[in-house]
A and B are shown apart, each in its own frame.
Chain A
């Protein structure tokens, strides 16, 4: 079966972001960018399904300007077969992202779409669910295990109180949690090979969708800073401070 993996280019997870002095947004100029960690897990899961003989073709798709081709090449180096870049300079809301992905789903007819559960920049945790709604497909979010069995996929989900397993009719949408797998590193030969794999660019405007903004970013501010406290020497002193100074224990 065909597997579609949408991926996002985001700030590297180790970078501490800075808010712009004019509070218009965070400053992403000259910041290290990478494939969103949850998307990397999605690519890995697709590649494993292919290695297991379940998946036949893996298509990576990303929405953004030319720079996101770098992350698509990474996905190709990790094992995706071909890539699609939906070209736009706009910073689109999740619903508009989901609408563009729906068009790709219509074109490609994948049996399974695997997305990350959230992007570590916007922290929205929406796109997979929205794509599921728009395509009418069932969803297995926050997946820590995915098993394709015939015309169904069993997804074990990380929920508040533990794990929940559900069975979804295919085609279906899965969003990945951190425990799903451990992504591999791309080897140098695979990185070289990835350069020759097909990457198609489609302008977002060509899909005929109304992609008008759904939200307006009013301002972005740094979080309230916490002052470093004191270092105590003994456990006795710690307990005394918690009881008498912070008054959080009795």
Chain B
């Protein structure tokens, strides 16, 4: 069997989640090809060739893929699809965006957000915000799949795959990139961080998120947020952890002033160790926390920072 894995990147670096998606492809079993579609992305192509378990890297470096518009990328994957039984991408915003389009063009459905592989056609995925786990068998000839990276361990990067340059430019010419407004941060990426500290409505305002920064610096942590904190405008939406935001599973997750709604738990309950700091002893977050402390976060956070 042959498997095509779409590499997630920002035209300069390969995203860590791709290494976990390759692990999912290995669990399916077969010859793995990594597709890099982007523009001026030679550094990504080089990185991709070092990913373990990958036999070939297809490099589609062209201006039409610069922003990975779904309309253009889906046509590229469609062109390549004939050679592969499985087409896999990470369930990040790029993969979620174009992969169902690929599936529909191939007249197959998609299996979204898998967390485990049972066999080459049967996969495990959370439904109902992670409150149920479904085992789903695909009846389609081709399997189009997105992978929840937190379900798999990253493969190593000491491989040496062959690089094949694709001279192809699929331009649907029905959409165009206008602008980006990206959040710049020195901290580790939320999805890949070993430690995450998140604030919720209890933080009261955006300025108070500074209280998390000192702790994040000491722990090398990424900073996340609940939907309530994002909706209240405390922090940008790309910090949201939950059913509709990012899914994280760090070694340590510290929830500060977060009640623990179903939708938030969906994004973090697979963390190894969960700590809750909340002044409400009845908050649902304490039902999943390994260590909880009932305290006012404005007292607890400075003390925590000083004790680390």
Contacts and interface: CB of A to CB of B under 8 A. Distances in A.
A177 B244 contact: yes
A231 B286 contact: yes
A188 interface: no
Contacts, number: 260
Interface in B174-190: 174-183
Contacts of B231: 178-179
B291 A241 contact: yes
A165 B178 contact: yes
Given A223-B132, A248-B251, A160 B175 contact: no
Contact of A123 (B136, B243, B273, B289): B243
A235 B300 contact: yes
Contact of B237 (A94, A158, A246): A158
B105 A161 contact: no
Given A134-B104, A169-B174, A214 B112 contact: no
Interface in A14-58: 14, 16-17, 19, 26
A160 B238 contact: yes
Interface residues of B, number: 92
A159 B244 contact: no
Interface stretch (B41-49, B95-103, B158-166, B206-214): B95-103
Nearest to B174: A138
B291 A242 contact: yes
Interface in B84-128: 92-94, 96-105, 107-113, 118, 122, 125-128
B128 A167 contact: no
A96 B291 CA distance: 46
A226 interface: yes
A148 interface: no
Contacts of A118: 244
Interface in B275-303: 275, 281, 286-295, 300, 303
Q: Which of A127, A129, A131, A219 has the most CB of B within 10 A?
A: A129
Contact of A231 (B101, B105, B175, B294): B294
Interface stretch (A1-9, A106-114, A139-147): A139-147
A110 B12 CA distance: 39
Q: Decide if the interface of chain B is mainly helix, strand, loop or mixed.
A: mixed
Interface in A116-144: 117-118, 120-134, 136-139, 141-142, 144
A229 B290 contact: yes
A242 B177 CA distance: 46
B129 to A, nearest CB: 6
Contact of B134 (A128, A139, A220, A239): A220
A201 interface: no
Interface in A155-179: 157-169, 177-179
Given A126-B112, A228-B286, A214 B139 contact: yes
A238 interface: yes
Contacts of B244: 117-118, 177-178
A101 to B, nearest CB: 11
B291 A230 contact: yes
B177 A218 contact: no
A194 interface: no
A135 to B, nearest CB: 10
Interface in B137-170: 137-140
Contacts of A167: 175-178
B292 A138 contact: no
A229 B126 contact: no
Contact of B308 (A137, A164, A249): A249
B201 to A, nearest CB: 15
A239 to B, nearest CB: 5
Contact of B180 (A130, A164, A238): A164
A133 B110 contact: no
A239 B100 contact: no
Given A229-B289, A242-B291, A221 B181 contact: no
A234 B277 CA distance: 11
B238 A158 contact: yes
17 contacts: A11-B128, A95-B109, A95-B110, A125-B112, A130-B103, A139-B71, A142-B96, A144-B237, A162-B183, A164-B67, A177-B244, A218-B118, A226-B274, A226-B287, A231-B292, A232-B293, A248-B195
Closest 3 A/B residue pairs (Cβ): A229-B290, A129-B100, A133-B104
